[in-house]
Amino acid sequence: MAYYDNLPVYKAAYDLLQSIYRDSGNVPRDVRFTLVETLKNELTDILVLIYKANSTSAKLPLITEARERLVSVKVRLRLLYDLRYINVKLFARFSDQVEAVSKQLASWQKYAKERVGNTPDDNPRE
């Protein structure tokens, strides 16, 4: 059984989700139930994708999808900041957390690509 909850990328994404839950309480109600709720759902989906990628040999498509979804998280956070629902300090902290997840997913994706390229099936002997 793969231990997904010990993965640094999983921990970083989970910490970001916790921060969103903890620090988005001052956002107006209508925004909280639209933009922030979508943000929380997107982060939850990323956590599920990390879990799935860790428990399968076909990691690359799942990691790629997680990275793509992380872009929408960045956009939503930027929108919260631009509309002045979060302050610059909170935006900077969220951005640092998103960047940590992004870097880890990028490294994992690079590793997975190298592993795919080094499989014996890709180099048939003649």
- Give CATH for domain 4-115: 1.20.1440.60
Task: Give me the residue label for tokens 């902290």.
Answer: 93
Integer Cα distance of 66 and 45 in angstroms: 8
Task: For residue 82, give both structure tokens.
Answer: 């631009």
Mean pLDDT in each 10-residue stretch from start to end of the chain (126 residues)? 78 97 92 95 98 94 98 97 96 98 97 80 45
The reported pTM is: 0.88
Integer Cα distance of 60 and 77 in angstroms: 26
Quote the pLDDT of residue 25: 86
